[in-house]
């Protein structure tokens, strides 16, 4: 999944460990405190009004639950889901001694476009074939 789909993929792997053997998440939202206010607050209210909801929805806290293989992909120039989402999650994975495969696409915004899209699709396909 990408964006919110990346959040759902990551959440599934972390909250139901062992259910899925492999997952790929691109530009994933990992912490709704870091995502755009207009979209997030429409569904979650403000962090002040719903601190428990924001805390429960933050995925880094579940990093220690990861089982199976997981690849994270993020464009370095993503202004939709800023790279800090992925960096915070990776920091937590390192802290908890959890291995995660990560690939950054230099110069790409919230998705990988153009000829590099072929590279991304081959990377995802190869990852799935190698780990399923």
- Kindly report, residue by residue over 16-31, the tens digit of the pLDDT: 999 999 999 999 999 9
Q: Which of 3, 31, 74, 108 is catalytic?
A: 3
pLDDT confidence bin for 2, thresholds 50/70/90: very high
pTM here?
Answer: 0.93
pLDDT confidence bin for 4, thresholds 50/70/90: very high
CA distance 14 to 6: 12
Mean pLDDT of 21-48: 96
CA distance 65 to 78: 27
Cβ–Cβ under 8 Å, residues 112 and 77? no
pLDDT in tens, 70-106: 999 999 999 999 999 999 999 999 999 999 999 999 9
Query: Is 110 annotated in the active site?
Result: yes
Q: Give the dihedral sign, CA 122/68/102/41.
A: positive
pLDDT confidence bin for 1, thresholds 50/70/90: confident
Q: Which of 31, 74, 78, 85 is catalytic?
A: 78
Query: Is 3 annotated in the active site?
Result: yes
């Amino acid at each position: 999944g990408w964006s919110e789909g990346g959040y759902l993929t990551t959440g599934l792997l972390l909250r139901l460990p062992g259910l899925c053997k492999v997952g790929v998440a691109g530009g994933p939202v990992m912490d709704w405190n870091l995502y755009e206010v207009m979209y997030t607050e429409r569904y979650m209210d403000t962090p002040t009004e719903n601190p428990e909801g924001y805390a429960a929805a933050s995925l880094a806290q579940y990093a220690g639950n990861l089982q199976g293989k997981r690849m994270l992909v993020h464009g370095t120039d993503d202004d939709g889901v800023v790279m800090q989402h992925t960096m915070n999650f990776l920091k937590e994975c390192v802290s908890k001694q959890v291995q995660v495969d990560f690939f950054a696409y230099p110069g790409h915004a919230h998705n990988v476009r153009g000829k590099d899209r072929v590279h991304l699709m081959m990377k995802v396909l190869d990852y799935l074939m190698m780990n399923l």
